[in-house]
Structure 1
Amino acid sequence: MSKEEPVIRVLITGAASPRAYALAGLVANGMALGSKQPMIFHLFDVPNETGKMEGLMMELIDSAFPLLREVITTCDPVVAFQDISVAFLLDAKTRPFDMTQRDLIVFNAKTFKDHGLCLENFARKDCKVIVLAYPGNTMCYICAEHAPSIPRENFTANTRLNHNRTIGHLAYKYKMPPVNFRNVIVWGNQSQSMYTDCSIASVVIGNKSNRIFEYMPDEIAYLKTQLAEQIANRGTDIIAARKLPSGLSAAKAACDQLRDWIVGTPHGTIVSMTVSSDGSYGTPKELFFSLPVEITRGKWSIVRGIKLDELARNKIDANTKELLQEKMQAITELGDT
């Protein structure tokens, strides 16, 4: 028998939510960390959600996941964040139709400041953090700002959901397997202003990779405008239909992102990831921005040199402006300087 990998601790906050319910099973089954990584779950939520957390714990135990060694349910942040290697941060208010973006930031900012402080004080310094809350970019910024001893590149938000949505829409519309579509890019904020860009995307037909604009010249108008609008509005459409935010698709996207982050992306494959900007494409360094990345040996790097047309440039600039406004709203609410 081969030697087992060391057990790691995985935190899921907002553990009583439907999204956490979907995520926990996928992670426990090895989708995020691989088929050889044993784990201990830390499930964290507020005291009045204890029953739901315990119910999830029972279902996890009853599923007999081979990799799951223990499940800890807690309302104590010290216990929740202690020695964790991976943090999925889900516990934020979802925006109702009558709530403004500003009010949502004000409501959630204190939660993510607390999360950052807990990561700083209790988590492992190599902890990988994925924010699934909304608005993800700004909550990720708040969290990273309050955990300065953890590398900033270890904080991400889950734009992979919108990346996957784009590929899913293309596959469904053109009746092809999703694996045939590569290198779409989602730029900017996790909001309706984000921009889905297919300018360097490719489609594989008969083992040959083709630039999608060249292979489908009659579809360029759809790919540049209608598709982007559909992806930007998809989350709102799901809430309208289910009366709940995306659950399974968000959980699967978080697993895809973490798995790529750990094992790397195939050569020549670009994925969208909300990361701390290094100034590429005119985005301010302090912002968390969805950008095209490649990943090698657990390290992501921003793909540079992509030519932007006027539409993409304008969308990136609009997202930058929006994120700077969100940042100032969060700083004002928290009293930070």
Structure 2
Amino acid sequence: MNNAPDIPRERFSALTRLDHNRAIAQLAKKTGAAVTDIKKMTIWGNHSTTQYPDIFHAEIAGKNAAEVVGDQAWIENDFIPTVAKRGAAIIEAAALPRPPRRRRRRSTLPATGCSAPLTATGCRWRWSPTAPTTCRRAWCRRFR
């Protein structure tokens, strides 16, 4: 964003949604919960090995995810490194990362210093869990 100061901040995005999905899948596998029961999962940082999947604020069926897991060693030695390093492992294996083309995308936008999932349908951005925002039609055509 420093290299493009004339472009509004809300037009920048990141690939952390992939990491968000990986974190939820790991939690579902570990706990036997349905992925739809896992809420408030947050990935702090960039789509890189320096990211931090925040299990401590996530919930599984309304309960604290870290408490449901109940295994600090797994969280520190398996969950966090697996989520953080998985993207790099896939990129290395595939050589060219390309997201699938579809009408709805999951991505993230900078807001208050963190990233959160969003869906773009037409020209309407929908944050989870915050209120929707809009974008300019010419810019969002690439998301259709």
Q: Does 1:291 align with 2:115?
A: yes
Structure 1 residues 158 and 238 mapped into 2: Cα distance closer, same or farther (>3 Å)? closer
- Given that 2:48 and 2:87 are in contact with CA atoms closer than 8 Å, whether structure 1 keeps it comes out as no
Bigger helix fraction: 1
Provide the alpha-carbon RMSD of the alignment: 2.9
Q: Distance in 1 between matches of 2:49 and 2:68?
A: 28
Q: Tell me the TM-score normalized by structure 2.
A: 0.66
Which of 1 and 2 has greater Rg? 1
Question: Which residue of 2 is the match for residue 198 of structure 1?
Answer: 55
Structure 1 residues 151 and 216 mapped into 2: Cα distance closer, same or farther (>3 Å)? same
Correspondences of 1:1-337 after superposition (within 5 Å):
141=1, 144-145=4-5, 148=6, 150-204=7-61, 209-217=62-70, 219-245=71-97, 247-248=99-100, 255-257=105-107, 273-277=108-112, 290-291=114-115, 294-298=129-133
Deviations 1:132-185 (A, max 9, x none): xxxxxxxxx25642xx2x532332223111111111222233333211111121
Q: Distance in 1 between matches of 2:21 and 2:129?
A: 16
Aligned residues: 122
Structure 1 residues 297 and 274 mapped into 2: Cα distance closer, same or farther (>3 Å)? closer
Unaligned stretches of 5+ in structure 1?
1-140, 258-272, 278-288, 300-337
- Given that 1:193 and 1:232 are in contact with CA atoms closer than 8 Å, whether structure 2 keeps it comes out as yes
- Given that 1:159 and 1:290 are in contact with CA atoms closer than 8 Å, whether structure 2 keeps it comes out as no
Partner amino acid for 1:228?
Answer: I
Deviation at residue 291 of structure 1 after TM alignment: 3.5
Deviations 1:213-246 (A, max 9, x none): 22232x2332244211111110222234434436
Specify which structure has the bigger relative contact order, considering alpha-carbon pairs within 8 angstroms and separated by 6 or more residues: 2
Deviations 1:53-101 (A, max 9, x none): xxxxxxxxxxxxxxxxxxxxxxxxxxxxxxxxxxxxxxxxxxxxxxxxx
Percent sequence identity over matched residues?
28
Partner amino acid for 1:213?
Answer: A
Unaligned stretches of 5+ in structure 2?
117-127, 135-144
